[in-house]
Amino acid sequence: MMARIKTRLPDEPTSPLNTMLFMNPLRMCLNMQASSSPKCPGWLMTAVAPWGENAEDAFDQGLVELGLGDVRLIQAQGAMLPLGFGATPPRPLPMGSLVECHLATAYAWNGSSASAGVAWAACVTPEGDECSIVATITTDLDYQETMLLLRRNLQRRLASRDLEVVEFDVAVDEVTAGQDHHGVAVAALILPESLSLGARTKTGPIRGGLTRTAVEEQKKRVDTKAPAAPARRPGQSKNNHDFTL
Domain residues for the domain of 172 are: 37-196
Question: Number of folded domains in the chain?
Answer: 1
User: What is the full per-residue pLDDT of the chain (245 aa) written as tens digits?
Assistant: 334 333 333 444 444 434 333 344 444 343 444 446 888 999 999 999 999 999 999 999 999 999 999 999 999 999 999 999 999 999 999 999 999 999 999 999 999 999 999 999 999 999 999 999 999 999 999 999 999 999 999 999 999 999 999 999 999 999 999 999 999 999 999 999 988 745 555 676 777 666 555 556 666 665 555 566 666 666 655 555 554 55
74 part of a folded domain:
yes
* Contact call for residues 153 and 47 (beta carbons, < 8 A): no
Instruction: Report the alpha-carbon distance of residue 72 to residue 158 in Å, rounded.
Output: 30
110 part of a folded domain:
yes
107 part of a folded domain:
yes
pLDDT, position 192:
93
Tell which residue, 85, 94, 49, 87, has the closest CA to residue 67: 94
70 part of a folded domain:
yes
232 part of a folded domain:
no
Residue 243, C-beta contacts closer than 8 angstroms, at least 6 positions apart: none
pLDDT, position 37:
80
19 part of a folded domain:
no
- The CATH code of the domain that includes 149 is 3.50.20.10
Burial 19-50 (b: 16+ CB within 10 A, else e): eeeeeeeeeeeeeeeeeeeeebbbbbbbbbbb
13 part of a folded domain:
no
pLDDT, position 14:
46
Decide: pTM greater than 0.85.
no
52 part of a folded domain:
yes
pLDDT, position 21:
35
pLDDT, position 220:
61
